[in-house]
């Protein structure tokens, strides 16, 4: 009996010790981790740039590892260069980029979809390109639903903070698993931890070919088309110079179009819109 009580006491003491250890680690390392995260912005010499925009890396649209950061990033850089401005794109998580821009902590967010509700706090640039969001499954699983309501009971991977469509985002009957990127969601999806993946078609194809060459694009099935939203540079209305940034971009972007530079950039990055949404530029 005494031995049993002694063992229970040891177990309880060990649990308390582990809890105290974890609390101590959090108190020590949380400020350090926060400082590291914030250093992404402080590491940029702000004096060199007129504006700092934020986003996630979203290839093939744009990304820090792409040639000249990809089609959309180069359109933004060159548009501002035409009016004598120099900008920097900071890469972080989408949710962080979106929320901090919304609150005026960044000068803008790159790659934001036009959603009417966002007009309350975001000034949208002219469309730079289009996205095609859909729900995908693996053909061999035999998931045949072709509407959102058909997918009741299935688990879908999504990116935290993403807008897919009003119907899908607001559907309480869809079991959604959130991750920070499509790249991570794809790994879970192919590993069988979720049944479907919600993704932009181009982005999904990019990561499938790059990270999982053993899986063919034809092995996937596009079950439900969600939306074909326009993609923009967004400016927080909280900032007094919001309209200045907007007007400067629009002026430079218009010049690029007149000079036929948009088509040249599309060719350079091999980036073309889907046939049903080709822009006449």
- Kindly report the CATH number assigned to the domain that includes residue 240: 3.40.190.10
Residue 58 lies in a domain: yes
Could you tell me the pLDDT band of residue 26, with boundaries at 50, 70 and 90? very low
Whether 23 has a pLDDT exceeding 90, the answer reads no
Q: Give the mean model confidence (pLDDT) for residues 239-250.
A: 98
* pLDDT value at 24 more than 60: no
For 90, phi and psi rounded to 5 degrees?
Answer: -100, 130
Q: Is 30 domain-assigned?
A: no
Q: Is the pLDDT of residue 34 over 50?
A: no
Is 187 in the same domain as 110?
A: no
pLDDT in tens, 148-200: 999 989 999 999 999 999 999 999 889 999 999 999 999 999 999 999 999 99
> Do 143 and 209 lie in a common domain?
yes
Count of structural domains within the chain:
2
DSSP readout, 178-197?
EES-HHHHHHHHHTTSSSEE
Q: What is the mean pLDDT of the chain?
A: 86
Q: Which of 137-141, 142-146, 166-170 has the lowest mean pLDDT?
A: 142-146
Answer yes or no: do 139 and 109 share one domain.
no
Same-domain pairing of 193 and 266: no
State residue 60's pLDDT score. 96
Residues, the chain: 281
Q: Distances from the Cα of 93 to the Cαs of 63, 80, 160, in angstroms?
A: 12, 24, 9
Percent of all residues in the chain with a pLDDT value above 70, rounded to a whole number: 81
**Residue 3 within a domain:** no
Same domain, 55 and 119: yes
Residue 268 is assigned to a structural domain of this protein: yes
pLDDT at res. 43: 54
The residue segments making up the domain with residue 260 are 46-130+231-277
Do both 198 and 65 map to the same domain? no
Q: Is the pLDDT of residue 277 over 90?
A: no
* pLDDT band with cut points at 50, 70 and 90 for residue 32: very low
Report pLDDT for 28. Answer: 35
| Count of C-beta atoms within a 10 Å radius of residue 173 | 9
Residue 17 has pLDDT above 50, yes or no: no
Residue 207 lies in a domain: yes
Residue 274 has a pLDDT of: 63
Strands 108-113 and 230-236: antiparallel
pLDDT band at 80 (very low <50, low <70, confident <90, very high): very high
Residue 63 lies in a domain: yes
Cα 167 to the center of its chain, rounded Å: 20
Looking at the fold, whether 175 and 248 belong to one and the same domain comes out as: no
- Residue % of the chain over a pLDDT of 90: 76
Residues 213, 242, single domain; the answer is no
Residue 195 and residue 145 share a domain = yes
Describe the crossing of helices 261-269 and 71-81 by its angle, rounded to 10 degrees.
150
pLDDT score for 192: 95
Give yes or no for residue 280 having a pLDDT over 60: no
Same domain, yes or no, for 246 and 123? Answer: yes
Domain end, chosen from 227, 244, 260, is at 227
Does 181 share its domain with 61? no
Residue keyed to tokens 């009957």: 173
* pLDDT exceeds 90 at position 89: yes
**DSSP 8-state class, residue 47:** G
pLDDT for res 27:
39
Is 28 domain-assigned? no
Q: How many CB atoms sit inside 10 A of residue 94's CB?
A: 22
Same domain, 141 and 210: yes
* Residue 251 belongs to some domain of the structure: yes
């Amino acid at each position: 009996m005494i031995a049993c009580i002694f063992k229970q006491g040891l177990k309880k003491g060990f649990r308390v010790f582990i809890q105290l250890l974890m609390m101590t680690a959090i108190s020590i390392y949380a400020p350090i981790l926060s400082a590291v995260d914030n250093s992404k912005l402080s590491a940029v010499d702000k004096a060199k740039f007129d504006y700092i925009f934020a986003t996630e890396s979203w290839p093939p649209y744009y990304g820090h590892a792409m040639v000249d950061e990809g089609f959309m990033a180069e359109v933004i850089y060159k548009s501002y260069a035409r009016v004598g401005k120099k900008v920097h794109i900071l890469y972080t998580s989408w949710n962080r980029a979106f929320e901090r821009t919304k609150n005026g902590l960044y000068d803008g967010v790159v790659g934001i979809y036009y959603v009417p509700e966002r007009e309350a706090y975001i000034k949208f640039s002219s469309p730079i390109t289009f996205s095609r969001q859909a729900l995908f499954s693996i053909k061999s699983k035999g998931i045949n639903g072709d509407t959102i309501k058909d997918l009741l009971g299935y688990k879908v991977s999504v990116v935290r903070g993403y807008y897919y469509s009003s119907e899908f985002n607001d559907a309480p009957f869809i079991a959604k698993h959130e991750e920070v990127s499509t790249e991570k969601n794809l790994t879970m999806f192919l590993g069988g931890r979720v049944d479907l993946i919600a993704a932009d078609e181009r982005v999904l194809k990019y990561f499938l070919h790059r990270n999982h060459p053993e899986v063919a694009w034809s092995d996937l099935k596009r079950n439900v088309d969600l939306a074909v939203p326009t993609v923009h540079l967004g400016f927080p209305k909280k900032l007094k110079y919001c309209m200045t940034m907007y007007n400067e971009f629009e002026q430079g972007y218009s010049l690029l179009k007149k000079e036929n530079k948009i088509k040249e950039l599309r060719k350079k990055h091999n980036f073309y819109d889907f046939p049903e949404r080709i822009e006449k530029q």
